């Protein structure tokens, strides 16, 4: 990566160099007719400002560099390409790629500067105002053109041409005026070379300008002065500049040693100056560095790609993708072209066909992908005013609007836009696999370069019995006997993937390409073919961890074509902050997680689920239900109910028995039930367990739903699964098992509490039996059943230390960067408004509560654990914030301060962009608990919301006996079990209406923290129905 140069200081050596891109626009035929009559100096500068084309370089008479006309003094000659041409001065500029007004303005700007100016400061003062205006107007014109013509590559080239002209004007001012050398010595020669994205001839509005100042041998005082003067002007223009100053020998030496610099030299683009220096570099680089090293370069570039993608999340289906560096983004296309250029010396994508890498259709696909990604990237930079590369939730609606997307077919505008994006990213992945396969075939090195795409598979050199005559082993991969295999028997399109899974073989890219081209063969007859469906279900339920094969089947298009209901959710994103992947990728990851639980790969993390899955009778139904559980996303009806209908439709076709179909449909319809119940209900209330058991009805369904729920949550994305959720799900499972088994649980409730206490006792070797028994008796059964073992150990030590110090109020906090959370525990005497105090202290510090556990003890104390989103990257900063919150809580509980005053003193936060709109909702239910009224409140999450809600409820004289906090991205679901001050339920209609007004007032009014409610009209996310999805 090119280092961005600091503003002050001497010229450094820089870091890496960029490269020259490829263009597919026709080259200019001429530079315009030279005209006499203007002042010679100004005319020469006007010629010098003729913008270099940003397309692939072409050597032709009269051109100095790739598409750049450089005018000398009148009548001077220049040798270029072995032909001598006379350059005549001109006062007009009529060159494609730069607006004539811009070129004229630059020429006039230079003409107004004294030819003998010697003061760098004075030169900058004369140049800067005009250059700033020219850049501003040029970028504005590029944005207008992008909006009208919708061509991302044209926009990137237009901006590049603008920067070329600006840099060239600066060069002309510095070299021809400030440090003019009429009779240059050997050391007073320099070539200015564009590198990086700038060298490729494409620039986004916020991209760096990467420059190489190429010297004949070593730096001289003249060269240092020229470079420094140019850089200071560029810095004063607030441009981000990466730069390096090297000799030809330096470039070759560092290019051999550093693959990033080698890549930069591969595509460096000559701008102006001493052309002979650049030509020498190009010729020697090819001869001394490139020749004979293609295989090494390919392997290095692919490893570099792996590292880059892994750092950003190794999936092209992340719902907030990085357009530049993410998987399936622009950098992947750059890598493909670097490999092709290094290996086959191609100059443009059209030459990829001649090189045998792509077909003509695939080249058109490459061009389409590149244009779309550039269009998105340029709009992102224009919309944000900075080099924003991450397509965040806040940015997606704006870009969708800029690109002209509207709602259609049950999808919002932003969902349609993102579906287009993910389909493009998939195409980029297909092109990557094609190039890698060709590289492997031509440069056979082990391990094959494609192995990273098929990580599960091992290369096979001994051919197994493939049980099908139309297939063969090719270089250790599964391939077709001939190109007619699919036409002879379209079921081979399914058999291909079945064989891949059965024999643990990666599929050869040639077979994948032919499969994609043969999708039209999968019609109604293939979809109902018994053999095709048998093969598919066997693949789906394979014990060989079929996730990799199913993902490949999806990316070729075969899976969506064979199961059209699945095809509807391919590349579909859910516009909310909770889901990390597209719907199709989520389903495939769910199956992968299910297989990992069954095989024992995930046994350490999910021991109970691993044990349970081995006892179920309906294994096939479980896998099919996992595959279908979100298949109806994006439809107008509730996706769980609609999904159950899809399951009943597909079940007979898949060859399932009627009982299996009923089980699959039930699991799909209720796949959110266990997650919702565990996270938002009081599991110590027998009514909760009875209600849940009444829906589940059998132990077999309970087991199936338990395992499916874990696989579902784990596949949502990193950080969603927590030990807390695991404990809640296990508790719900065991409590329901007691009811469904007629009171005979595998592990009875009291036995489980005793077992958990014994395990904790074993870790507290320094406690006496009497001390531990007293501690254990202090905590009720719900604590032992809901809190994970690691937290129990921390709580025991925390409370013991508090008691030993004679304190009645204490706090403990710790942060976890990997999970992005901070946990704050509070031990104090019970207090009617304790929850409001705790949440108020967090709100006053700007803390956002994402979870909470609240337990009362037998001796009148409370042990609460609040989970906050981290506000700082560094642990030290985050712990200081947690310390301030803990101090505020302790002082408030001791009566030293009032939380309300802290909250009132807090300046309201600026509203974050209202990217999402979540309609607030309140349900009041007296049937869910035998003792309390259950308030379930949902809406758009924000810092301080829980404090505002608990304060509002306290002001209504409601006693909160239990609180359950759950966040699903931007959506919060807070459930409160409440009674009035006499301990009875809230049944009066007018009292319930008062509660409803107060809760809705928190969302819709100014709120306690003084923040206005979200305005209507934002983008409404498709939130999960109260649970994971």
Sign of CA dihedral 741, 744, 746, 750: positive
Q: Are residues 505 and 432 located together in one domain of the fold? A: no
pTM of the model: 0.69
Q: Are residues 164 and 312 located together in one domain of the fold? A: no
As a dihedral over the C-alpha atoms of residue 34, residue 35, residue 37, residue 42, rounded to 10 degrees, the angle is -40
**pLDDT of the residue at 282:** 93
Q: Are residues 368 and 427 located together in one domain of the fold? A: yes
Q: Are residues 411 and 495 located together in one domain of the fold? A: no
* Residue labelled with tokens 């004539």: 100
Nearest-angstrom CA–CA distance, 642 and 663: 15
Q: Are residues 435 and 484 located together in one domain of the fold? A: no
**pLDDT of the residue at 443:** 58
Q: Are residues 351 and 400 located together in one domain of the fold? A: yes
| Better-predicted residue by pLDDT, 560 or 74 | 560
How confident is the model over 39-52, as pLDDT tens digits? Answer: 333 333 333 333 33
Residue 762: inside a domain: no
Nearest-angstrom CA–CA distance, 621 and 623: 6
Q: Are residues 520 and 666 located together in one domain of the fold? A: no
Residue 338: inside a domain: yes
Going by the DSSP 8-state scheme, the letter that residue 471 receives in this structure is: E
Going by the DSSP 8-state scheme, the letter that residue 519 receives in this structure is: G
Residue 822: inside a domain: no
Hey, what are 513's tokens?
């390409």
Q: Are residues 685 and 608 located together in one domain of the fold? A: yes
- Cα distances from 261 to residues 208, 254, 342, 696, 810, in angstroms, run 17, 7, 13, 62, 57
- Cα distances from 913 to residues 388, 852, 1018, in angstroms, run 16, 26, 9
% helix / strand / coil in the chain, to the nearest 5?
50, 10, 40
Write down how long the chain is: 1029
**pLDDT of the residue at 315:** 56
Of the candidates 452, 485, 504, which is a domain's last residue? 452
Q: Is the pLDDT of residue 449 over 70?
A: no
Of the candidates 693, 725, 747, which is a domain's last residue? 747
- Domain CATH code at residue 1016: 3.30.70.260
How confident is the model over 871-920, as pLDDT tens digits? Answer: 888 899 999 999 988 998 888 888 888 877 777 666 454 444 455 677 88
Tally the domains of the chain.
Answer: 5
Residue 3: inside a domain: no
Hey, what are 957's tokens?
């004289």
Q: Are residues 429 and 516 located together in one domain of the fold? A: no
How confident is the model over 271-330, as pLDDT tens digits? Answer: 999 999 999 999 999 999 999 898 888 888 888 887 776 765 545 556 788 999 888 899
Q: Residue 806, SS3? A: coil
Segment 666-684 mean pLDDT: 92
Nearest-angstrom CA–CA distance, 147 and 402: 7
What is the CA angle 717-721-726, rounded to 5?
155
Of the candidates 452, 479, 506, which is a domain's last residue? 452
How confident is the model over 712-768, as pLDDT tens digits? Answer: 999 987 767 877 788 889 989 998 998 888 765 556 778 888 999 999 999 999 999
Residue 875: inside a domain: no
Residue 664: inside a domain: yes
Q: For the chain, give the longest Cα–Cα distance.
A: 107
- Domain CATH code at residue 508: 1.10.110
Q: Are residues 238 and 347 located together in one domain of the fold? A: no
Segment 450-457 mean pLDDT: 49
Does an H or E element contain 77, and which? strand 77-80
Residue 965: inside a domain: yes
Strand 269-273 with 191-195, pairing: antiparallel
Q: Are residues 662 and 534 located together in one domain of the fold? A: no
Q: Residue 626, SS3? A: helix
The domain in which residue 432 lies consists of 299-452
Going by the DSSP 8-state scheme, the letter that residue 581 receives in this structure is: B
Segment 631-644 mean pLDDT: 92
Residue 879: inside a domain: no
Question: With contact defined as beta carbons under 8 Å apart, do 470 and 480 qualify?
Answer: yes
Does an H or E element contain 661, and which? helix 658-669
What is the CA angle 730-734-740, rounded to 5?
140
Q: Is the pLDDT of residue 792 over 70?
A: yes
**pLDDT of the residue at 402:** 95
Nearest-angstrom CA–CA distance, 239 and 492: 56
How confident is the model over 72-113, as pLDDT tens digits? Answer: 333 333 333 332 232 323 323 333 345 667 778 888 888 777
- Domain CATH code at residue 365: 1.20.120.330
What is the CA angle 690-923-740, rounded to 5?
10
Q: Are residues 395 and 467 located together in one domain of the fold? A: no
How confident is the model over 503-516, as pLDDT tens digits? Answer: 999 999 889 989 99
What is the CA angle 974-977-979, rounded to 5?
135
């Amino acid at each position: 990566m090119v280092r961005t140069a600091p503003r002050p200081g001497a010229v450094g050596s820089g870091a890496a160099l960029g490269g020259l891109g490829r263009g597919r626009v026709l080259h200019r035929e001429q530079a315009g007719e030279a005209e006499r009559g203007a002042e010679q100096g100004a005319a020469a500068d006007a010629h010098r400002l003729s913008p270099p084309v940003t397309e692939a370089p072409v050597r032709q008479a009269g051109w100095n560099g790739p598409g750049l006309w450089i005018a000398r003094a009148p009548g001077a000659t220049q040798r270029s390409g072995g032909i001598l041409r006379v350059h005549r001065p001109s006062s007009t500029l009529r060159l494609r790629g730069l607006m004539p007004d811009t070129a004229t303005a630059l020429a006039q700007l230079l003409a107004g500067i004294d030819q003998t100016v010697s003061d760098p400061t004075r030169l900058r003062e004369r140049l800067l105002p005009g250059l700033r205006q020219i850049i501003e107007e040029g970028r504005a014109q590029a944005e207008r053109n992008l909006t009208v013509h919708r061509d991302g590559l044209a926009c990137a080239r237009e901006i590049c041409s603008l920067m070329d002209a600006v840099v060239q004007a600066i060069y002309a001012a510095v070299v021809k005026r400030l440090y003019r050398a009429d009779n240059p010595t050997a050391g007073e020669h320099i070539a200015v070379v564009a590198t990086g994205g700038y060298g490729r001839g494409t620039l986004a509005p916020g991209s760096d300008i990467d420059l190489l100042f190429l010297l004949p041998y070593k730096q001289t005082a003249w060269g240092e002065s020229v470079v420094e003067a140019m850089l200071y002007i560029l810095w004063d223009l607030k441009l981000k500049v990466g730069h390096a100053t090297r000799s030809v020998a330096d470039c070759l030496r560092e290019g051999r040693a550093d693959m990033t610099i080698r890549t930069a030299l591969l595509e460096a683009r000559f701008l102006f100056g001493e052309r002979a220096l650049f030509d020498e570099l190009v010729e020697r680089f090819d001869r001394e560095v490139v020749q004979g090293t293609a295989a090494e370069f390919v392997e290095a570039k692919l490893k570099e790609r792996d590292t880059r993608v892994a750092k950003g999340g190794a999936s092209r289906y992340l719902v907030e993708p990085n357009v530049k560096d993410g998987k399936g983004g622009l950098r992947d296309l750059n890598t493909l072209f670097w490999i092709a250029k290094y290996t086959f010396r191609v100059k443009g994508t059209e030459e990829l066909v001649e090189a045998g890498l792509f077909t003509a259709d695939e080249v058109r696909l490459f061009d389409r992908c590149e244009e779309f990604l550039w269009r998105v990237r340029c709009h992102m930079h224009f919309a944000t005013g900075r080099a924003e590369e991450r397509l965040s939730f806040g940015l997606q609606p704006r870009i969708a609007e800029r690109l002209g997307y509207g709602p259609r077919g049950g999808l919002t505008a932003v969902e349609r836009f993102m579906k287009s994006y993910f389909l493009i990213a998939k195409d980029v992945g297909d092109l990557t696999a094609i190039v890698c396969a060709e590289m492997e075939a031509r440069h056979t090195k082990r391990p094959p370069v494609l192995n990273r795409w098929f990580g599960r598979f091992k290369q096979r050199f001994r051919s197994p019995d493939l049980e099908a005559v139309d297939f063969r082993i090719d270089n250790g991969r599964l391939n077709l006997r001939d190109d007619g295999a699919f036409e002879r028997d379209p079921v081979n399109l399914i058999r291909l993937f079945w064989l891949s899974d059965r024999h643990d073989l990666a599929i050869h890219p040639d077979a994948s390409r032919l499969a994609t081209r043969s999708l039209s063969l999968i019609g109604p007859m293939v979809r109902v073919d018994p053999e095709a469906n048998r093969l598919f279900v066997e693949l789906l339920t394979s014990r060989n961890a079929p996730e990799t094969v199913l993902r490949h089947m999806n990316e070729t298009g075969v899976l969506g074509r064979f199961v059209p209901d699945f095809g509807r959710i391919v590349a579909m994103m859910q516009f909310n902050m909770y889901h990390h992947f597209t719907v199709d990728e989520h389903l495939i990851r769910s199956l992968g997680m299910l297989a990992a639980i069954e095989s024992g790969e995930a046994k350490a993390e999910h021991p109970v689920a691993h044990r349970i899955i081995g006892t179920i009778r309906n294994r096939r139904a479980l896998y099919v239900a996992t595959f279908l559980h979100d298949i109806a996303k994006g439809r107008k009806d509730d996706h769980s109910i609609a999904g159950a209908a899809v399951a009943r439709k597909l079940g007979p076709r898949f060859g399932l028995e009627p009982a299996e179909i009923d089980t699959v449909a039930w699991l799909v319809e209720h796949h959110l039930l266990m997650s919702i119940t565990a996270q938002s209900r009081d599991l110590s209330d027998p009514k909760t367990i009875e209600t849940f058991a009444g829906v589940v009805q059998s132990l077999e369904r309970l087991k199936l739903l338990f395992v499916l729920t874990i696989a579902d949550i784990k596949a949502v994305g990193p950080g969603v699964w927590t030990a807390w959720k695991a404990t809640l799900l296990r508790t719900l499972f065991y409590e329901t098992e007691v009811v469904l088994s007629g009171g005979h649980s595998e592990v009875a409730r009291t036995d489980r509490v005793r077992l958990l206490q014994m395990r904790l006792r074993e870790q507290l070797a320094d406690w006496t039996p009497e001390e531990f028994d007293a501690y254990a008796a202090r905590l009720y059964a719900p604590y032992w059943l809901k809190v994970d073992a690691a937290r129990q150990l921390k709580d025991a030590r925390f409370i013991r230390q508090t008691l030993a110090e004679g304190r009645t109020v204490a706090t403990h906090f710790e942060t976890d960067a990997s999970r992005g959370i901070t946990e704050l525990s509070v031990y104090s005497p019970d207090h009617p408004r304790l929850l409001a105090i705790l949440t108020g202290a967090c709100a006053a510090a700007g803390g956002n509560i994402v979870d909470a556990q609240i337990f009362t003890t037998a001796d009148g104390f409370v042990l609460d654990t609040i989970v906050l989103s981290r506000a700082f990257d560094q642990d030290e900063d985050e712990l200081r914030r947690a310390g301030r919150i803990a101090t505020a809580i302790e002082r408030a509980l001791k009566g030293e301060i009032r939380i309300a005053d802290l909250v009132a003193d807090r300046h309201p936060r600026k509203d974050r962009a209202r990217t999402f709109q979540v309609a607030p909702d309140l349900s009041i239910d007296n049937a869910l608990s035998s003792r309390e009224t259950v308030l379930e409140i949902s809406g758009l999450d924000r810092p301080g919301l829980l404090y505002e809600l608990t304060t509002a409820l306290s002001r209504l004289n409601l006693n909160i006996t239990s609180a359950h906090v759950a966040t699903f991205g931007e959506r919060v679901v807070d459930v409160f079990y409440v009674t009035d001050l006499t301990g009875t339920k809230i049944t009066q209609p007018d009292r319930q209406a008062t509660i409803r007004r107060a809760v809705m007032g928190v969302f819709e009014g100014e709120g306690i923290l003084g923040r206005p409610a979200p305005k209507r009209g934002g983008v409404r996310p498709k939130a999960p129905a109260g649970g994971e999805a």
